[in-house]
Chains A and B, each alone.
Chain A
Amino acid sequence: KAGVTQTPRYLIKTRGQQVTLSCSPISGHRSVSWYQQTPGQGLQFLFEYFSETQRNKGNFPGRFSGRQFSNSRSEMNVSTLELGDSALYLCASSLSTGNTNYGYTFGSGTRLTVV
């Protein structure tokens, strides 16, 4: 069974640019969540998608956005990049439907460096 696949693994971008990260969940998982991981702030929740709808959103500025496609694949976009956006971005998929929570399966992440 394939795990959660995130692409690309590494990215270097310049301040002001925008970036799109991709996530393919485990087959059958309809819930996809995104987290930002930094040494100082730990794992911060960005948003969660279920059946192409954003179901939960964390406390990040509107520059951070996402979407989910009908095959449950998800993308997140960060516009007008800032130095502070440098982080490991983790995608996680889950069997959770909303009535019962299940654990996440995380991908290996995309390491974004903004210079």
Chain B
Amino acid sequence: GENVEQHPSTLSVQEGDSAVIKCTYSDSASNYFPWYKQELGKGPQLIIDIRSNVGEKKDQRIAVTLNKTAKHFSLHITETQPEDSAVYFCAASKDSSASKIIFGSGTRLSIRP
């Protein structure tokens, strides 16, 4: 089955700097890659997603890139702010398996003031 690996497990960046989180997936048939942000005491929240027919997608300070050949995808957060501190999860799935989404192990992002 699908396996998603996520790095790093913890990341600390200075406020205003950029943060990058990387994931790899094992199933070449995966075609949907969402990213989630989980704040303390809350469920994960979808922040951006990308499908395999697109190489990059941006939404304000957040961008995701996908390299299908290498089976890599990454989350980029620019101009980080204190409210970006949270745990971030990447995930992968394929339409043929319905809604089963496999998550990476998570990255705890801390923004230093």
Partner of A56, one of B31, B36, B98: B98
Which chain A positions have C-beta within 8 A of B104? 42
Interface digits, B12-51 against A, CB 8 Å rule (1 contact, 0 not)?
Answer: 0000000000000000000110101000011111100100
Decide: A56 and B99 in contact? CB cutoff 8 A: yes
Tally of contacts, chain A with chain B, CB under 8 A: 68
User: Number of residues in B with C-beta < 8 Å to the partner?
Assistant: 25
- How far does the alpha carbon of A48 sit from the alpha carbon of B24 in the complex, in Å? 24
Q: Which of A33, A35, A106 contacts B45 (CB 8 A)?
A: A106
The answer for the CA separation of A98 and B102 in the assembled complex, in Å, is 15
User: Chain A at the B interface: mostly helix, strand, loop or mixed?
Assistant: strand
Is B46 in contact with A105, judged by CB distance below 8 angstroms? Answer: yes
B73 at the A interface (CB under 8 A) = no
A-B contact pairs, 12 of them (CB 8 A): A48-B98, A50-B98, A55-B98, A56-B98, A94-B99, A98-B95, A99-B95, A101-B32, A101-B95, A103-B34, A104-B36, A108-B42
Q: Across chains A and B, which 10 residue pairs bring their CB atoms closest together, nearest first?
A: A106-B43, A103-B46, A96-B99, A43-B103, A101-B32, A56-B100, A98-B98, A103-B34, A42-B105, A31-B99
**B residues apposed to A, CB below 8 Å:** 31-32, 34, 36, 41-46, 49, 89, 93-95, 97-106
